Amino acid sequence: MSTNAQAAQQGGSNNKAYLILIIGILAVAFSAPWVKQSNFEPATSVVLRVGFGLLFLLPFFIREIKKVGKINKTGIILSLVAGLFLGIDFTAWNYSIYFVGSGIASILLNLQIIILPALAFLFDRERIPKSFFIVAPIMILGVLMTGGIFDSAEATEGPTTAWGMNLAVLGTIAGSISGVCYGAYLYTSRKASRVNGIQIVQPMFFAGLTQLIAPLIVMMFSGRGFDLTHGVLVNGMLPHNPETALGDPITGMNWFWMIVLASIGQAVAWTFIQYGAIRLDPTIVAGLLLLSPISTVAVIAVILFGEIPSTIQIAGVVLILLAVAYQNNLHKVILGKKPKDGTPKATS
């Protein structure tokens, strides 16, 4: 094959990877709003999302085994461990969505940017870039600002506390737990992808099995159990006693949005992002992934739910996004400098 033909083939392959990655990013951007629109109890929502997602992935899981073979034992174990963390991530994230809003919850998830390099250093002895020690405190400050902890108390239509805690603090804690566990998921899934570079669906399918563990445990202590009859929100808002009050009855539209979340926000989104992530430059992938939280907080959440962040929250969002961009060397790409090899990359 000629050099021109090889270049054309490579270009076509990259264009396909870019297209698939962007579709996956758009699906992730709508995931938090779909969680809110489906309005299921947080743990129940995760079980339905993951359970239906596994059903959607099953035929592709079988097809991949027949086409490229099974992943090895190490890959299975790492995928199962990764799924444990992602299950905690999803469950905590759902609570954060209801407590601080879908846009802010999507931003808080980016706390993973300081978790992934830390884990890589602790367990793999990978070098931590000097920028990490600048980015980490900025990220923590940005998380506190974005969660609304520094905002003055104002009269709102919904509750201000739950379980005896300020709702903004509770939502920020839940969002931070989500970000930490997302970082742990990225770390273990990255190791799984290094063991099995060809397979995409199988690692995700095995991870999906253990994603069910965290929400099932939460159900045992939440007092709601597996609730398919009532949601969380009442007329689109939290009730004044969210610890005990039931939300609106679950309707056909709630089930519709759950199916959309499980099929597009779960099965399609994660598979497509994984497909693009292993084929494209990590820095470019990290930059494109920033489109997801930006779209959610600046456009989707505003239009669908009227979630308007405060001035302090907007400043926190900007801090977090700038920290994520800097940690992923996007400033070097803009300035035309080549990032040094070996720098741990994290997705957002």
Q: Is the pLDDT of residue 5 over 50?
A: no
Both tokens of residue 270?
């994660």
pLDDT score at 327: 75
Contact (Cβ atoms closer than 8 angstroms) between residue 214 and residue 88: yes
State the Cα–Cα distance between residues 207 and 258, nearest whole angstrom.
20
Please give the average per-residue pLDDT across 180-208, as a whole number. 86
Please give the average per-residue pLDDT across 91-104, as a whole number. 94
Q: Is the pLDDT of residue 168 over 70?
A: yes
Q: How many CB atoms lie within 10 A of CB 291?
A: 15
pLDDT band at residue 337 under the 50/70/90 scheme: low
State the Cα–Cα distance between residues 61 and 312, nearest whole angstrom.
45
pLDDT score at 292: 86
Q: What percent of the chain has pLDDT over 70?
A: 88
pLDDT score at 153: 52
More confident residue, 21 or 194: 21
What are the residue boundaries of the structural domains of the chain, listed by start? 30-334
pLDDT band at residue 343 under the 50/70/90 scheme: very low
pLDDT band at residue 116 under the 50/70/90 scheme: confident
pLDDT band at residue 19 under the 50/70/90 scheme: very high
Both tokens of residue 204?
């995700």
More confident residue, 338 or 186: 186
Q: Is the pLDDT of residue 147 over 70?
A: yes
With CA atoms as reference, report the closest residue to 318 among 70, 110, 34: 110
More confident residue, 341 or 235: 235
Separation of CA 223 from chain center: 26
Q: Is the pLDDT of residue 336 over 80?
A: no
Question: Which residue shows structure tokens 């808080």?
Answer: 108
Strands (E), the chain: 161-162, 165-166
pLDDT score at 209: 97
Q: Is the pLDDT of residue 46 over 90?
A: yes
pLDDT score at 346: 41
Q: Is the pLDDT of residue 40 over 90?
A: yes
pLDDT score at 115: 85
Both tokens of residue 236?
């689109």
Contact (Cβ atoms closer than 8 angstroms) between residue 262 and residue 53: yes
Q: Which of 223-232, 267-276, 282-291 has the highest mean pLDDT?
A: 223-232
pTM of the model: 0.86
Both tokens of residue 156?
């709102």
Q: How many CB atoms lie within 10 A of CB 161?
A: 15
Contact (Cβ atoms closer than 8 angstroms) between residue 49 and residue 262: yes
